[in-house]
Structure 1
Amino acid sequence: MRTGPFHLFLLLVGCVAGLAAIAPVHEPMAAEAGPQENYGRTPREYLPYNRFTEPYKRFFMVPNEYRGYGRSLPEPERVESVRIGFLGPITKTVSVATGGVSHEEPLGHKMLQGAQLAIEQANAKNGFRGSGIPYELMVRNDNGLWGASGSEIIHLAYRDNVWAILGTIDGANSHIAIRVALKIEIPMMNTGDTDPTFIETAIPWVFRCITDDRQMCYLLADYVFKKLKLTRVAALRANNRYGRIGIGEFRDAATRLGHPFIAELNYQVGDRDFAPQLERIQAVDPEVLITYGDAAESALILKQMRAMGMSQWLIGSDRMVSAEFLSSAGKEEERVAAPCPYNPRSDDPGYLKFKRDFTERFGEEPESFAAHAYDGMNMTIEAIEKAGLNRAKIRDALAEVKTYRGVTGVKEFDVVLNNISPPYLAVLKDGQFLFHSRDEVLK
């Protein structure tokens, strides 16, 4: 299907301007699906109002179903390739978060590499269903502007004629992209956005294979309040959606345990001097400082803390678990911890093979965004192999997955198609992160 620029513009305007009007109708799935205990596998002590009353209504407890048109569409008689879309930040441009240049391109490039490797390996097995028809990755840049993100989804669906889309990372852009995907009715696999609210749009075309900030903040709260038995927490986060939304579950958990933040300050993405905020935080004498932002700023916060004589624990987001952070943190640095959605030191044979293949292909070791993109692309390819060339049936095949063993471990999906697998805790020691499961953390 092809369409002109004016039609693309009208479709995009309809998608973005009518967000409130396009939410799908929710209806329970067949009884055999069964109810889940609570949304997001939230520990009881972190549930809102759990000490006072039981909720009269629980949300996100039944599957997101698609009851519309599309499954009866015939497959194309002949295709030269089976196209899958990629949307991620790979080219520097203007950022909504900073008002200047964008900042997530290093993460986007890793995500692209993981997706490319999965496509190449599928083609080495003779492509789509062994027919010799190759899989083809159609790459579009997520440039940090809401309208542009939606426009790229339209281009992938109608100009590139893809069967599914993998992407993206930025929380705000992802929210726009999936609403356009809903309007178009095309499956979208997310492998990089850890925003807990991403899946709460209740869009039946959306899947996420990376553990979100909800699960990672529960682990951080367990470590700080149950393992370390500390209570005085201050926060210094990025002044963007990632920092604001990502830290939210930890803030809520702390409050529900009776330990609300004693201070919460923010900084602009790209800042290099954090002395004004750290001086105010130092004055209230916290036991722990939590930061939520990119690796570069998190490392600078750590260095400036220590230079000021602040020896408190620094805990942060999964983006701290990176070579960029380690190169700046210092080999002797300790009392640092962050969650990680998988175990990069796993000795699982499948993961080790992926690590070798990735390093041979790209000349560097993979990290979280590459590994999860590899898993997400393989899940998408397997759904296409099973369902054939029909977007609604590809969506159904993905929705049937309850557990999936990938290179990032065993993924568990709840009824709203979100990955609720437990993360690992990365604790810095002797210049490297050591990874611990939740059971090990609470032992």
Structure 2
Amino acid sequence: MFMKKMIRGLKGKLGIVLLLVFSLLISACSPSKEAQVNTTGKEPYKIGAVLDISGNSSSLGVPERDTLLMMVEKLNANGGITGHPVELMIMDNKSDETEGVLAVKTLIEKDVLAILGASSSGTSMAMIKTVQSEKVPMISLAAASSIVEPSNERQWVYKTAQSDIVMINKIISYLKNNQLNNVAFLYMNNSYGDNGKKAISEAVKDSGIKIVAEEKFDANDKDMTAQLTNVKMSGAQAAIVWAIPPSASILTKNFKDVGLSIPLIHSHGVGNQKFIELAQGAADGVILPIGKLSVAQQIQDNDPQKKVLESYIADYTNKYNTEPNSFGGYAWDAFSLLVNALEKAGPDRAAIRDELEKTQEFVGISGVFNMTAQDHNGLKEDSAVLVQVDQGKWKLIE
């Protein structure tokens, strides 16, 4: 009633300005949700995240953002970290490397204790120089091995996605078991694709497997028919693709369009439902190595990850009315590893870095993490399974 009388009594532009000022004052006096959580009066722990929320890699960044928002809300509702609420600042790098660097610098200026991200290998790689020079712990959510290697140049950098060499080795075992000796390799023209190429080039040495065709494409390409026609003419017995949606989905559709019937093996970069949707029915039959989240109900009950996976699925599904994917899982792991380190180290960047490196037997979504000074990923081949897309769903094959 008071507000209505005030609105009627205010005239012209001056009245509008005064009303806005009054409203802001009222809002400022009202306790926020975060203030209600922070009942201990302890200083918040500031954490930054740089994610590919828009742009070509948005199918990775969006579930990662949603996972982090869910986790920080739950953590603060339960008292934070030793009574300290977590203040999470998320920035969108728009799937652009320059934007990623700018975002990292902005967060460091805000005195964040650590940075989570980025979502893709290229944007993660672009951020490394800054966090190294500023000595700020960073946990990437991307796959390229070069994000954490060489270890003597990546002392402040960790990551939660399985490295490309881990997934390549899983694929090599599949090829050997099925006597598929001549393969084609297609890859994105970026850091993720380049690291995949490097990994497979190393893995096929002395393996009896030969790469008979090698084709490259850009993330923005809308048609890969020419590259696939070359694959068709090469005599390849299987095709391996190192890419993420949407280009990975376009290639998968083109694969069927040109009449290729050899096994199509993708990387874990397509481990979300968006890949299947964008492929418009062409993804059925695709094989890929991936973490266990997508087939959580199909793995053995005695698997140490099973309860963690089921808990994450339940939490995410209850909040967002859709199931999570591996990319959200990478964010779950990164946040959990950081919280674990903060509980022991407190608000000290160097101590947080040291605690991350000491991580042992940490059961996460992507696997059981065992990190060392030489290994800032901590995941081996047992963190991955082989799945096949069957009627638009993920099916465990080994």
Q: TM-score, normalised by structure 1?
A: 0.73
Matches of residues 14-413 of structure 1 in structure 2 within 5 Å? 80-91=43-54, 102-129=55-82, 131=83, 133-158=84-109, 160-190=110-140, 192-202=141-151, 203-224=154-175, 226-329=176-279, 335-347=285-297, 348-413=306-371
Contact 2:290–2:386 at 8 Å: present in 1 too?
yes
Aligned partner of residue 344 in structure 1, secondary structure: helix
Q: What is the distance in 2 between the residues matched to 1:82 and 1:148?
A: 24
1:214-235 deviations in Å (ceiling 9; x for gaps): 10011011101x2111111112
Contact 2:162–2:366 at 8 Å: present in 1 too?
no
Aligned partner of residue 247 in structure 1, secondary structure: helix
1:346-381 deviations in Å (ceiling 9; x for gaps): 242222121111112222211111112012101101
- CA shift, 1:412, in A, is 2.9
Amino acid at match of 1:351: L
Residue matched to 1:418: 377
Contact 1:117–1:374 at 8 Å: present in 2 too?
no
Contact 1:114–1:372 at 8 Å: present in 2 too?
no
1:392-419 deviations in Å (ceiling 9; x for gaps): 1111211111221123442233432222
Q: Per chain length, whose mean CA-contact separation is higher, i.e. which structure has more relative contact order (CA < 8 Å, sep 6+)?
A: 1
Contact 2:293–2:309 at 8 Å: present in 1 too?
no
- CA shift, 1:319, in A, is 2.3
Aligned partner of residue 149 in structure 1, secondary structure: helix
- CA shift, 1:171, in A, is 2.2
Q: What is the distance in 2 between the residues matched to 1:218 and 1:87?
A: 30
Structure 2: state its 5+ residue gaps. 1-40, 298-305
Deviates more, 1:420-429 or 1:386-395: 420-429
Amino acid at match of 2:348: N
Root-mean-square deviation (Å): 2.2
Q: What is the distance in 2 between the residues matched to 1:387 and 1:414?
A: 17
- CA shift, 1:333, in A, is 6.3
Where is the helix percentage greater, Structure 1 or Structure 2?
Answer: 2
Q: What is the distance in 1 between the residues matched to 2:309 and 2:239?
A: 33
Contact 1:84–1:135 at 8 Å: present in 2 too?
yes
Identity %: 25
Amino acid at match of 1:118: M
Contact 1:289–1:314 at 8 Å: present in 2 too?
yes
Q: What is the distance in 2 between the residues matched to 1:266 and 1:148?
A: 25
1:429 is the counterpart of 2:369 = no
Residue-pair matches, total? 345
Q: What is the distance in 1 between the residues matched to 2:348 and 2:325?
A: 32
Q: Relative to structure 1, is the Cα distance of residues 267 and 371 closer, same or farther in structure 2, using a 3 angstrom cutoff? A: same
1:88-145 deviations in Å (ceiling 9; x for gaps): 1124xxxxxxxxxx3012211111112222211211211130x2x3111011222444
Residue matched to 1:41: none
Q: TM-score, normalised by structure 2?
A: 0.80
- CA shift, 1:156, in A, is 1.0
- CA shift, 1:147, in A, is 4.1
Structure 1: state its 5+ residue gaps. 1-77, 92-101
